[in-house]
């Protein structure tokens, strides 16, 4: 959809509300319609002045066609259950009524919708939107608000922006009666029990089997829970749901859905400008009333509203602290560890001048607080999900006007513990005696869960990942207990995927508590940048000189840096890495630990009376880890070191020829030679009848596919052009020659012999080369042709294509000669097959 349509900013505004991984302004926002004034409050049951007495359903403003309101006592009868809060809520039989005061008409309400079924926050009826109630005669319009385009009300463009931002009507609700002060009494039952798109939690809702369960009215919000019943294809049905026996066709699905209606603050938080040099989530909008000579997109960071109790103190408790409530579904033995994972962030907030800023608490019981709900829009929470998913995630719901975090959420899926066991055992069991037998002790698993909770809380408070951090410490330093203690761990932030310190060696005697990352210097820096008050600043622009000074600290302190926003191939911005400032050294050390792990597999995982599923799983994880270490090194080739800068120098520096050649040597020696630890007959004969050859091939093919990708070869051509022939560029011709010497080394032997693993490696090389030389045609866009689509094939670098074809000619020539010299029949057949494959690749036929 093209820029300028009303749909684009509206969708963008909705998605700006919630981020998982992981968001403004004193400028005027688009005004929302307000209710028409009345000369005096009507008596209960009477319409306000000017309202029609004989309206019926279906008309527009002025009550035309809408049913006439009835007396209050006839609508809200003596049988009603009434609760009073943000506005009154009544339940009369199966009907639910909102009694909306005139003062709340046109006010922005955040509606946080969740599925009460242990499902993920994204999907299954989970969404967040801002709405307003607006009176039109005898009807109340529920409108969806957008904030993605704005203009100052005094500007010439304001009316045009206002029209562009015209709020769609979700539902038109007849006024059933009038309460005191022109309060409109509307029946909202169908919002929760019919197929109104913005309130659907299950597909194809059937109203006769959907109903409102319960409701709570509180001073700042109203919470509703309803059961929705609908139909869904078998694949979309929840686990354990209906449709047993594998019957085809639609299945019945019933879920409890909750909606928390929260009134956004009328006193808006002052937003803080976003900076690409610092890893913080953000919201964005286009302000058309600015003087810039472009449609300027403004970005503001996502953060909690932290205000000091004592504004003049260097350190003060906040007026309102951040509280994360821990789901009571969390296993009791893990609750202290989960709470500690939240509290681990408390010292970081001290860098911003806030003491006791964040706290974890076990959620109250219904007896302690009958109105408490984890899905309440006011509460930040840690959910514990009964799920086989080996994962966790975190995000936040924000005020789209300012970026203020309203509700932060972390989901801990129960089976993340299996993932943690495998990570810890495969990476650092040689360094921790507690991990040299399975299962891990509860105390260790609790510490690992605490680590994941702290990471996900980082997302929830506004931080995206920072994969740059694992390259900021030298490999030798992460082997020093003194260094690790001083820096808080082997990586400068919890927001990297740096996992556990696999670079350290047993002889380093690293205390086991330092094998797990903790809050690091980057975390403290980012919390400071996000939250520290800036005295004297009145607007976001007033804050910028100070913010810029803080960001410039990265120029001299590398561990304060964040990932470069537009970098595509920074070898120091990797996932699952430790010590990748020197990936060759770190991966060499890591391989030593991996060999120790492999030698322990049979002792640890073979158990009389139990099957071999554990051994199979751990062996597969060991091979996968080997592949990761190799890929960390492969990233050096055609890579450029990056640093985000704002007008202060180069952002991209191609790696030297020496570093790239060192990486190729490592890969030729390690990645393309199958270690004996993976061909252990004692293990293989226990876990599978077949598959080891293809498993090794898959790991090596992944590396080769990356090494011969069009993107990597294209970067080498680019860097050669930038650096010039007199520089230290690693030319594409030199690189492919070095790679050929490693993958095809047998071809130069007097009597060549190629074993099964190397044969598979060489075939994988040809497969990768073919994908680059003869990429498949792109699938046509749905709905046929049309401008603006992707090209049928990606663009090709002329030099890369020519030189790669030349490499295949050279391999073909060498293979022909080697086939004539070898005395091994299988090798001869393999090399003849290689010759035919190269011919086919170089001259593909339909």
- CA-nearest of 490, 639, 654, 461 to 577 is 490
CATH node for 304-545: 3.40.390.10
Contact 340/360 with Cβ under 8 angstroms?
yes
Summarize pLDDT for 722-746 with one digit per residue, the tens.
887 667 899 999 999 999 999 999 9
- The pLDDT score that the predictor gives to residue 775 is 87
The pLDDT of residue 10 is above 80 = no
Cα–Cα distances (Å) from 45 to 39, 51, 52, 80, 119, in that order, read 16, 12, 14, 16, 43
Angle at which helices 756-773 and 798-821 cross, to 10°: 150
The pLDDT of residue 29 is above 90 = no
Summarize pLDDT for 355-412 with one digit per residue, the tens.
999 999 999 999 999 999 999 999 999 999 999 999 999 999 999 999 999 999 999 9
* H or E stretch covering 620: helix 613-634
Summarize pLDDT for 83-103 with one digit per residue, the tens.
999 999 999 999 999 999 999
The two three-digit tokens of residue 590, written as one number: 């890591």
How many angstroms separate the CA atoms of 299 and 282, rounded? 6
- The pLDDT score that the predictor gives to residue 677 is 94
How many angstroms separate the CA atoms of 425 and 676, rounded? 20
Most confident of 5-14, 35-44, 244-253, 635-644: 635-644
- The pLDDT score that the predictor gives to residue 127 is 83
The pLDDT of residue 69 is above 50 = yes
Of all residues in the chain, the percent with pLDDT exceeding 90 is 78
Mean pLDDT for the chain?
A: 88
Question: Which residues face 394 on adjacent strands?
Answer: 410
Q: Which of 125-139, 204-218, 794-808 has the lowest mean pLDDT?
A: 794-808
Most confident of 115-119, 245-249, 258-262: 258-262
755 confidence band (pLDDT: 50, 70, 90): very high
Q: Give span(s): CATH 3.40.390.10, the chain.
A: 304-545
Tell me the mean pLDDT in the region 38-49.
38
The two three-digit tokens of residue 18, written as one number: 């919630």
The pLDDT of residue 17 is above 70 = no
442 confidence band (pLDDT: 50, 70, 90): very high
- CA-nearest of 189, 104, 174 to 141 is 174
- The pLDDT score that the predictor gives to residue 25 is 33
CA-only gyration radius of the chain, Å: 31
- CA-nearest of 374, 353, 340, 421 to 118 is 374
The pLDDT of residue 448 is above 70 = yes
How many angstroms separate the CA atoms of 119 and 137, rounded? 41
Contact 257/116 with Cβ under 8 angstroms?
yes
How many angstroms separate the CA atoms of 559 and 566, rounded? 19
Tell me the mean pLDDT in the region 668-684.
94
Please name the residues in contact with 259: beta carbons below 8 A apart, sequence gap of 6 or more: 111, 112, 113, 192, 199, 223, 224, 226
- The pLDDT score that the predictor gives to residue 526 is 98
- The pLDDT score that the predictor gives to residue 725 is 62
Of 242 and 762, the structure prediction assigns the larger pLDDT to 762
The two three-digit tokens of residue 80, written as one number: 């009603």
The two three-digit tokens of residue 607, written as one number: 């158990």
The pLDDT of residue 238 is above 80 = no
DSSP H helices, 236-277, are none
Question: Which residues face 398 on adjacent strands?
Answer: 405
Coil/strand/helix, residue 400:
coil
pTM: 0.89
Summarize pLDDT for 782-839 with one digit per residue, the tens.
444 444 444 444 445 578 999 999 999 999 999 999 999 999 999 999 999 999 999 9
Of 548 and 241, the structure prediction assigns the larger pLDDT to 548
- The pLDDT score that the predictor gives to residue 117 is 61
44 confidence band (pLDDT: 50, 70, 90): very low
């Amino acid at each position: 959809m093209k820029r300028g349509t009303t749909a684009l900013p509206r969708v963008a505004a909705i998605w700006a509300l919630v981020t998982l991984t992981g968001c403004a302004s004193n400028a005027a926002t688009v005004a929302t319609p307000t209710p028409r004034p009345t000369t005096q409050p009507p008596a209960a049951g009477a319409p306000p002045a000017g309202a029609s007495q004989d309206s019926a359903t279906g008309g527009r403003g002025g009550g035309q066609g809408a049913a006439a309101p009835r007396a209050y006592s006839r609508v809200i009868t003596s049988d009603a259950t009434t609760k009073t809060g943000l506005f009154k809520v009544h339940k009369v039989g199966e009907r639910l009524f909102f009694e909306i005061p005139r003062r709340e008409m046109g006010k922005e309400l955040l509606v946080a919708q969740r599925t009460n079924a242990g499902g993920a926050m994204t999907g299954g009826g989970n969404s967040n939107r801002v709405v307003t109630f607006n009176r039109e005669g005898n009807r109340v319009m529920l409108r969806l608000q957008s904030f993605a385009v704005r203009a100052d009300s005094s500007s010439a463009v304001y009316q045009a922006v206002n029209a562009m931002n015209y709020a769609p009507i979700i539902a038109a609700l007849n006024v059933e009666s009038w309460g005191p002060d022109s309060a409109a009494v509307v029946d909202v039952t169908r919002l929760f029990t019919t197929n109104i798109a913005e309130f659907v939690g299950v597909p194809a809702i059937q109203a006769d089997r959907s109903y409102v369960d319960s409701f709570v009215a509180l001073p700042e919000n109203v919470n509703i829970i309803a059961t929705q019943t609908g139909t869904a294809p078998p694949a979309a049905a929840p686990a354990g749901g209906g449709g047993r026996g594998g019957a085809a066709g639609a299945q019945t699905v019933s879920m409890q859905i909750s909606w928390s209606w929260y009134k956004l603050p009328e006193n808006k938080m002052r937003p803080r400008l976003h900076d690409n040099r610092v890893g913080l989530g953000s919201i964005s909008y286009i302000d058309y009333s600015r003087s810039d000579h472009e449609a300027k997109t403004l970005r503001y960071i996502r953060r909690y509203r932290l205000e000091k109790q004592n504004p003049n103190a260097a350190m003060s408790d906040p007026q309102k602290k951040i509280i994360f409530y821990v789901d009571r579904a969390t296993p009791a033995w893990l609750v202290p560890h989960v709470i500690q994972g939240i509290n681990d962030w408390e010292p970081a907030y001290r860098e911003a001048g806030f003491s006791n800023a964040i706290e974890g608490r076990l959620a109250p019981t219904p007896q302690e607080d009958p109105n408490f709900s984890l899905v309440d829009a006011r509460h930040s929470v840690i959910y514990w999900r009964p799920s086989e998913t080996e994962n966790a995630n975190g995000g936040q719901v924000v005020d789209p006007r300012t970026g203020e975090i309203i509700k932060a959420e972390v989901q801990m899926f129960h089976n993340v513990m299996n993932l943690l066991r495998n990570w810890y055992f495969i990476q650092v069991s040689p360094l921790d005696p507690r991990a040299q037998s399975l299962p891990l002790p509860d105390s260790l698993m609790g510490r690992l869960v605490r680590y994941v909770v702290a990471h996900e809380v980082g997302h929830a408070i506004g931080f995206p990942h920072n994969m740059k951090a694992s390259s900021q410490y030298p490999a030798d330093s992460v082997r020093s207990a003194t260094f690790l203690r001083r820096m808080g761990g082997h990586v400068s932030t919890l927001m990297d995927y740096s996992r556990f310190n696999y670079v350290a060696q047993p002889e380093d005697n690293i205390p086991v508590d330092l094998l797990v990352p903790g809050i690091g210097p980057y975390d403290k820096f980012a919390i400071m940048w996000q939250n520290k008050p800036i005295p004297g600043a009145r607007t976001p622009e007033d804050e910028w000189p100070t913010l810029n000074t803080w960001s410039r600290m990265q120029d001299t302190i590398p561990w304060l840096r964040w990932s470069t926003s537009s970098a595509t191939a920074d070898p120091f911005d990797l996932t699952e890495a430790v010590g990748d400032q020197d990936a060759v050294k770190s991966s060499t050390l890591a391989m030593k630990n991996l060999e120790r792990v492999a030698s322990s597999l049979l002792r640890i995982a073979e158990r009389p009376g139990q099957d071999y599923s554990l051994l199979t799983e751990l062996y597969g994880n060991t091979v996968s880890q080997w592949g990761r270490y190799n890929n960390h090194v492969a990233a050096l080739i055609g890579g450029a070191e990056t640093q985000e800068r704002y007008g202060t120098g180069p952002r991209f520096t191609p790696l030297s020829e020496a570093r790239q050649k060192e990486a190729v040597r490592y890969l030729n020696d390690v990645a393309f030679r199958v270690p004996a630890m993976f061909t252990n007959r004692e293990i293989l004969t226990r876990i599978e009848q077949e598959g080891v050859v293809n498993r090794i091939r898959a790991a090596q093919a992944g590396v080769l596919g990356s090494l011969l990708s069009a993107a990597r070869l294209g970067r080498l051509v680019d860097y050669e052009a930038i650096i010039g022939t007199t520089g230290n560029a690693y030319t594409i011709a030199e690189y492919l020659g070095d790679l050929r010497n490693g993958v095809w080394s047998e071809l130069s032997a007097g009597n060549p012999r190629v074993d099964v693993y190397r044969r598979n490696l060489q075939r994988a090389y040809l497969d990768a080369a073919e994908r680059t030389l003869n990429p498949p045609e792109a699938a046509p866009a749905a709905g046929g042709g049309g401008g603006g689509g992707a090209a049928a094939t990606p663009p090709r670098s002329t030099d890369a294509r020519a030189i790669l074809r030349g490499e295949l000619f050279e391999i073909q020539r060498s293979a022909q000669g080697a086939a004539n010299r070898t005395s091994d029949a299988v090798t001869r057949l393999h090399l003849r097959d290689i010759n035919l494959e190269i011919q086919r690749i170089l001259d593909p036929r339909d």
